[in-house]
Every structure is written in C-alpha cells, then in structure tokens.
Structure 1
Amino acid sequence: MNREELIRKWLDHNLNSEEQKAFEQLEDYKDLVQLDGALQSFKSPEFSVDKNYEILNEKLKTKRSSQSWYKPILKIAAILALCFSVYYYTTTLDTTFRTEIATKTTLELPDASEVILNAKSTLVFNKSHWENKREVKLNGEAFFKVAKGEKFDVVTNDGVISVLGTQFNVKQRDNYFEVKCYEGLVGVKTEDHFTELKPGKVFKIIDGKFFADEKEITAQPNWLRGESTFKNTPLKYVIAELENYYNISIKVNHKDATRLYTGGFNHKNLDLALQSITIPLNLSYSKSGTSIVLKRE
C-alpha cells in the first residue's frame, strides 16, 4: 500500500494492525499526527481542495530536482491539502436510512421534521447543508410530517415535492409515482406536470399515465396501520407491494398483471393477503416455499 492510501485510511480510522505499523514507519508520521490534532477544530472553506492539491502536486514534480529547498514546504502543504480534502469530504457526507422487507422506521430530521419510512425504501439527506437547504432524496415510500420553516423538498426519480410545513405521503417505485396530501399545501413538479395538492387530494402517475382528481379520505396512509390499499391499480404493482411485506416471490402471467385492482391487503397474514387480492379477480394461487404462482381459476 502506498503512502497516500495509508494516510487516507488513517484519517478514516480504517487501518488494520499491519497497516497501522506501516503508517507509523512513515518518516513524517509525527508531523501527520500533529497536523491531524490541529485540524480537529478546523472548518474548511468551500473551495476545490482536490484541484488545488493537484496543482500543488504538479509544482512539486517540476521543481523537485532544481529547487530542493522547496521540498519541506511543499511536503507540508501537500499534507495540509490532503487533510483539508479528507475533512471536507467527511463533513459533507450524506446520511442514509434504509428499510428491508416487512420493516418500517421512524426518524427525525435536523429540523425536528418526522419521517416514517415504509418497507424496502431509502431516504438520504445532508446534515451539514440542512440549515440552508431542507432537502431529502427518496426511493420507495415515506410519510412526512414537516416542521414549519423554509421550503422543504422531497426529490425522487419521478418528480419533486415541495412544501413549507405539512403532512403528506410519497410513493415512488418503478413506473409508479404517487403523492397524497393530508395537511397543508403540497406542490408536485414533474417533467410534464405541476400540481398543488390540498388536503385529501392525490397526484398519481402509473406507467406514464397521469391520474387526476383522485381523493384520499383517511387522516393518514393505511400502511401506517398495517394495510395497503389500491384504487384501479394494475395487479403487477399490487404484487410488487405485497412482496415488500412478505419474503416471497410472486409470478403472474402478463395479461393478468395488467388487470386493474381495487381493494387492499393486510401485512400480518400472507394467506389472508393473497385471498384479498385473488378472490376479487377470480384468481387462485399455489405456494412452493417462498415462491407463489397466481393463475386463473
């Protein structure tokens, strides 16, 4: 392992015992430790440290042979640049929350906003930038209770939801995008649409088709109470949602996958959930381990 890799792993507290010994053998080991201690309370300005480090490194290469008296200064400057770079990188890291099958979690954002993250979902935000930009990135489904303040954005692959302080639910999965407003006012922006949702209003795009004027009559999403509900939804998306709550794989033929389903299923009993889906569509199911096949009766 070269010198730079050792330093990077040391700053990241990721050296094993052999690497630690190798690091301690570096000729400037004591200087590095001393510099790291001095930088603990340092906050770097927002400039491209990596770019400056590259320029500095090039100067080091060109002047090394003819101006040897620069060596100690350039060496220290290079170490400082590397330390600044690592500090800047570690202080701008994103915070990521993930949920697995059949799990959900409640988390609090830096402004005390609350997010309940549904199964098989990911939420990402940056603490260090939060005061200037309240923004989260969502892949999956989450219910938000946003504290009042500056604009709050939920960024998804299908659109951006913007609010000031409100309660709403966002669901973004493959070719399925849905926003439901429960309190306040929610702005939804996609490539082709901009809509403001008042309480009870729903914005939905499925397979590229926009659904308008749908209404939500509950006070909170049904999945918070252990039940998923659907209205005129292609069966393939109902099945995909079912797989998020049970460790199963479901197969259905293409024609049946596009049939529209209205109803719901619970998250506690697999057989009851399957019956809730198959009976209204005149389908049956067979199980083999964690594999399930849906077919017409």
Structure 2
Amino acid sequence: MQKMEREELIKKWLDYNLNPEEQKAFEQLDDYDELIKLSKSSEGFVAPVFNVDDTYKTVASQLKTKKPINWITPLLKIAAVFLIAFGVAYYTYSLDTANYTSIAEQQEIILPDASTVKLNAVSNLVFNKNKWSDNREVLLEGEAFFKVAKGSKFDVLTKQGKVSVLGTEFNVIQRDNYFEVTCYEGLVAVNYKSKYFELKPGKRFTVLNEKINNTSVNKLQPSWITDESSFESLPLQFVLDEFERQYNIKVTAASIDTEQLFTGSFSHTDLDLALKSITLPLGITYTKTDNVIVLTRE
C-alpha cells in the first residue's frame, strides 16, 4: 500500500468516513490492532481543543521525508497511534448523540443524569453526553414526553421555542405550524418569541398558526404513551398528519375541509377503529385502496 493511501485511510477513519471497501483496506494495516486498542483506551480522555486536520498535516508532512518502510518502524507507529488517540478523543467529545423514530415507532431514551425521554413517532432528539454535566440541553423535532431528574436547569430547544425546567414531567410537541407544552408535574417555563410563560401542573401552552392559547388538562401523562392520540379543538389536518405518523398509510382528503376542528382520539393499534373514531364524528366516509385512504363527505 502506498504511503498516501495509508494516510487517507487513517484520516477517513478519524472522520468516521470509511466506505466498506476502505474499511477492509484499513483493517489490513500492519498496526491495525494497536490503533484500535489505543483508540478504545482513549475514549474517556478529553483532549484540549486543537485542529485535528492541521495536526495530522504536520505529522504527515514530516513523514513524507521518510522512506515508505519507515511507516512500520516502532517510532512512527507510536507517533501515528498518539495522533489517532488525540483525534478520537476530540471527535468523541464533540459528537452529539442523535435518536430518531420512524412511522409507528416509539423510543425511550435515558439521558446521562437518568432523566428519561420517550419519543413519539417521526421525531428526533439530539444531545451531547460529554457536555451534559455542564449543560443539560436537548434539541427536539417532533413530540416527546420528559421525566427530568432534579438538578441544574434542563432546556428543550425547538424551532418554535425553548422549554426550561429544573425537575419535572412534561410533554412537548413541535410540528410544522403547531407548538405545544403540557406540564404534568413541577414547573415549566416556556420561551416563545421573546415572551415568557410559566406552566404549573395541569396547564397547557399551545401555539397554532401563531395564535397563543392556554388551557387545562386533567391527565397524568400524554395519551400517546398508552397508544392513543387525543386532540382538543385542533384542525382535522393536524389529526390526519398524526394518523399518518402512527400508521404507514397515506390519507387523501381533497374534497374535505381539513381546517374544521376536531375533538376526540384514535387508537394506534387498530386501523379501522382509528378511522371510524376520526370520520364518524365529522360525518365523513372513507375508502381504502392498497396503502391509501380517501376521505369523502357523506
């Protein structure tokens, strides 16, 4: 293997960017086992801030003055291993942990402080476990139910607003034109477009098409935790979007006013029952063809 090929393989490995063919070539390196062992032992080590690419170029430029055979000498092996160790530590420290759910999927996540998050379908949550002790912060798209361990401030950042707590149970929804925060325990602070709101247990904050509303709830947790989606005076389109997220099926409602408001719920475990729960109260009929449901007015 030529020296440049070796350098590229190591650099791509640092960037977690090896394709299957390159991965096989990397595993054929003479000191592959040594590199892997040292990279694993360095996972708990936090390197000082430095530019990995610049450091790599400096070492590589020095190596270019050597004959290719020197790459396998013990001295150069040690230098390469230390470069890998620092690079892995740097990338490990700065990498975020991302969690995603697909259609009809839920996922429970345990955060570094033992706080728990349950993600609803078609949602994602991002956080950095290495910086967690200094900054309890997550990024959310979609819907999630949080049980936060007591401690320093805990922030949920969404595209539409920020939710801050110290230790509590709450639910956050962030969809296209809808933002909802419901407090079930403790005290929740919501920052929305420079406005500040505090929610006590049983209180809900919603923003639908830029209109803010505050309501009350009488539940101990969101209904989707028990496989049921509930709605109170929300546009039918919002309900149908959630239906599609819970069932891998397309809904067409071209002849229906999807801005009409819906109050009710549907099950996540019975497709036909869910459809009837949505359509019967609104006087709507439906037909199913393959993986498409067409709604029509009676």
Q: Which residue of 2 aligns with 1:67?
A: none
1:2-41, aligned counterparts within 5 Å?
2-10=5-13, 16-21=23-28, 23-24=29-30, 33=34, 37=38, 40-41=41-42
Give the counterpart of 1:43 among 32, 42, 45: 45
Secondary structure, aligned partner of 2:38: helix
Q: CA deviation at 1:175?
A: 1.6
Q: How far is 1:201 from its partner?
A: 0.9
Answer yes or no: is the 8 Å Cα contact 1:248–1:292 preserved in 2.
yes
1-side partners of 2:47 and 2:23: how far apart? 32
Report the residue type matching 2:161 in the other structure: G
1:69 aligned residue: none
Measure, in 2, the Cα distance between the counterparts of 1:186 and 1:123.
19
Deviation, structure 1 residue 195: 0.9
Tell me the equivalent position of 2:242: 241
Whole-Å Cα distance in 2 between the matches of residues 182 and 38 of structure 1? 44
Q: 1:43 to 1:183 in 2, by over 3 A?
A: same
2:129 and 2:17 mapped to 1: Cα distance?
Answer: 21
CA distance 1:122–1:254, shift in 2 (3 Å): farther
Which residue identity lines up with residue 157 of structure 2 in the other structure? V
The equivalent residue for 2:102 is 100
Q: Aligned in 2, Cα 1:266/1:44: closer, same or farther, shift over 3 Å?
A: closer
Matches for 1:1-297 after TM superposition, within 5 Å: 2-10=5-13, 16-21=23-28, 23-24=29-30, 33=34, 37=38, 40-41=41-42, 43-50=45-52, 52-53=54-55, 56=58, 80-81=82-83, 83-211=85-213, 213-253=214-254, 256-297=257-298
* CA distance in 2: counterparts of 1:221 and 1:35, whole angstroms: 45
Q: Is the 2:35–2:81 contact (alpha carbons within 8 Å) kept by the matching residues of 1?
A: no
- List alignment gaps of at least 5 residues for structure 1: 65-71
The two structures have a TM-score, normalised by structure 1, of 0.82
Residues 130-161 of structure 1 deviation map (CA, whole Å, 9 limit, x = unaligned)? 11111111111111111100001111111111
User: In 2 relative to 1, CA 51–191 (structure 1 residues): closer, same or farther, beyond 3 Å?
Assistant: farther
CA contact (8 A) 1:53 1:78 kept: no
Cα deviation 1:50-82 (Å, max 9, x = unaligned): 365278479869x97xxxxxxx99998787556
Extract unaligned runs of 5+ from structure 2: 66-72
Quote the offset at 1:106 in angstroms: 2.1
Scaled by the length of structure 2, what TM-score is found? Answer: 0.82
Q: Secondary structure at the match of 2:224?
A: helix
- Amino acid of the structure 2 residue aligned with 1:275: K
Alpha-carbon RMSD: 3.2
Per-residue CA deviations over 1:76-123 (Å, capped at 9, x if unaligned) read 878755642332112332222222222212222111112122122212
Q: CA deviation at 1:242?
A: 0.7
Question: 1:56·1:78 contact (CA, 8 Å) conserved in 2?
Answer: no
Do 1:35 and 1:80's aligned partners in 2 also have CA atoms closer than 8 Å?
no
Moved more, 33-42 or 259-268: 33-42
Structure 1 CA distance for aligned equivalents of residues 7 and 60 of structure 2: 16
SS at structure 1 position matched to 2:218: coil
1:265 counterpart letter in structure 2: F
1: CA distance between counterparts of 2:176 and 2:226? 24
Corresponding position of 2:68: none
Give the stretch that moved more between structures: 121-130 or 77-86. Answer: 77-86
Q: Residue 163 of structure 1 contacts residue 187 of structure 1 at CA under 8 Å; is this kept in 2?
A: yes
Compared with structure 1, are the counterparts of its residues 4 and 36 closer, same or farther at alpha carbon in structure 2 (3 Å cutoff)?
farther
* Residue identity in the other structure for 1:2: E
The alignment covers a number of residue pairs equal to 283
Evaluate the alpha carbon distance shift between residue 40 and residue 287 of structure 1 in structure 2; reply closer, same or farther with a 3 A threshold. same
Q: Following TM superposition, by how much is the alpha carbon of 1:39 offset from its aligned partner in structure 2, in angstroms?
A: 8.5
